Amino acid sequence: MKMHIESTDKPTNEEIEHISESLFQYNCKASGINDFRPFATYLKNENNEILGGIIGWTRWSWAHIENLWISENYRKLGYGKKLLEEAEHIARERKCKMIDLDTFNFQAPEFYKKYGYEELFVLNGIDLGVTKHFFQKKLDN
């Protein structure tokens, strides 16, 4: 069978899902554990519009926050803290021992430090003075 390498800047959802699902199945087989569970928690107004939220997942006694976003008009009003507390609550309910996330220097590294997240390392070398910060927080159950 002749093989080749192909690159694209427009991968399809199906292609992305195939790679992600294949890796997920490998990880489950290798670890013997299949406990991946996504979660989302939202900030909504009276019209049920999403004005903020957290998207994440749990697996292997570990939680990960993929995205945290709040509409600009609702920032610095305590909603970020409430969303973060809810994500941590979900993680504890699922018996997670730690939660991790990453953020850029222009986003919210100080916010996470304020709420007990330990900075593990900073990825430097991204152009335009951008740095990526990696955090974790140990959870008591």
Q: Give which of 108, 12, 9, 22 is closest to 67, Cα–Cα.
A: 108
Give CA separation, 49 vs 40, 46, 71, 80, 125, in Å. 15, 7, 11, 17, 38
Q: What is the pLDDT of residue 103?
A: 97
How many angstroms separate the CA atoms of 7 and 12, rounded?
12
Task: Give domain status of residue 25, yes or no.
Answer: no
The structure tokens listed for 24 are 């997920």
pLDDT in tens, the chain (141 residues): 999 999 999 999 999 999 999 999 999 999 998 999 999 999 999 999 999 999 999 999 999 999 999 999 999 999 999 999 999 999 999 999 999 999 999 999 999 999 999 999 999 988 888 999 999 999 986
Task: Give domain status of residue 13, yes or no.
Answer: no
Q: What is the CATH number of the domain that holds 90?
A: 3.40.630.30
How many angstroms separate the CA atoms of 114 and 101, rounded?
14
Task: Give domain status of residue 7, yes or no.
Answer: no
Q: What is the pLDDT of residue 126?
A: 87
Task: Give domain status of residue 6, yes or no.
Answer: no
Contact predicate 68/51, CB 8 Å: no
Q: What is the pLDDT of residue 140?
A: 86
**What is the extent of the structural domain holding 37?**
33-138
